[in-house]
Amino acid sequence: MAVRARDSILGVFGDPDTVVGAVEGLRNAGFTGSDVKVLSDTPYPEGAFGETPERHRLYVFPFMGAICGFSVALLLTVATQLAWPMVTDGKPIIAVPPMVNIMYEGTMLGAILFTVIGIIFESRLPDFGPTPYDPRISQGYLGLLVSGPTSRIDEAARALQSAGAIEVVTTDGARARA
């Protein structure tokens, strides 16, 4: 079996205050902000556990989508009218005012579609990797996921247990109760 260079471990906690202490303990032990993640079934306010604020580029996605959607809608409407050049009431073949409706919808559809893709991408989904997880997190428990070099995982486990973790779960599913 190949030995992983990096590994993760999960501590399961019963209340938010203990998690705050655990995060602080892990920081003192030398684990950085990106090594420590809090798992919960509820969107707690950012920074509630002392974790590092997450950066993302979601706001770029709607703009990219809007440009793509607008371009496709423009191409579609112009090409359609040129391919079927039927003069109506002596008006120009390319009639801009009615095109605006379809271009508007195309722009919005592109923006929304790209936003959804952006949300999934920036949320780092899909994620079916071997991350340690405990279904009790869905029942209101909190998880503290620590990643780091394999050599430091035991140290992280000790820090989690000393901070009051109810249970510690490893990547291969082994559990150790505090």
Partner 1 sequence: MQDRRELSPTKINADLLNFTLKTPLWFWIVAFVLSSILGVAAITYIFILYYGLELLGYQNTIVWGFLITNFVFWVGISHAGVMISAILRLSQAEWRRPVTRAAEVMTVFALATAAMFPVLHTGRPWRTLYWAFPYDYARGIFPDVRSALIWDPSAIFTYLSSSAMFVYVALIPDLAVARDMTTGWKHSMYTVLAMGFHGTGRQWKLQTIAGILLSALILPVFVSVHSIVSWDFAMAILPGYHATVFPPYFVIGAVHSGVSAVATLMAILRKIFHLEDYITADHFDALGRLLIVVATGWLYFFLLDVFFGPVGEGATELAVWNLRFFTFPYSILIPIMIITGYLIPVPTWLFRKMRRNVTVMFWTSLCVNVGMWIERYYIIVPPQSFKEPFTFEWVNAYLPRFADWILVIASFALVSFGVLIFAKLFPIIPLFDIKEGQVLKQEIRIGRVRVPAVIRE
60 binds partner 1 (CB under 8 A): no
Amino acid in the structure at residue 85: P
Shortest distance, position 162 Cβ to partner 1, whole Å: 23
- 89 SS3 class: coil
User: Looking only at residues 134 through 153 of this chain, which bind partner 1 when binding is defined by CB under 8 A?
Assistant: 135, 137-140, 143, 145
Q: Is 19 in the site for partner 1 (CB under 8 A)?
A: no
**Which C-beta is closer to partner 1: that of 58 or that of 178?**
58
Cα 115 from Cα 57, distance rounded (Å): 11
Other residues' Cβ atoms within 10 Å of the Cβ of residue 105: 12
CA dist., res. 25 & res. 95, Å (int): 67
Contact 134, 10 (CB under 8 A): yes
> What does the binding site for partner 1 look like in residue numbers (CB under 8 A)?
37-46, 49, 51, 54, 56, 58-59, 62, 77, 80-81, 83-84, 86, 88, 95, 98-99, 101-102, 104-106, 108-109, 111-113, 115-116, 119-120, 122-129, 131, 133, 135, 137-140, 143, 145
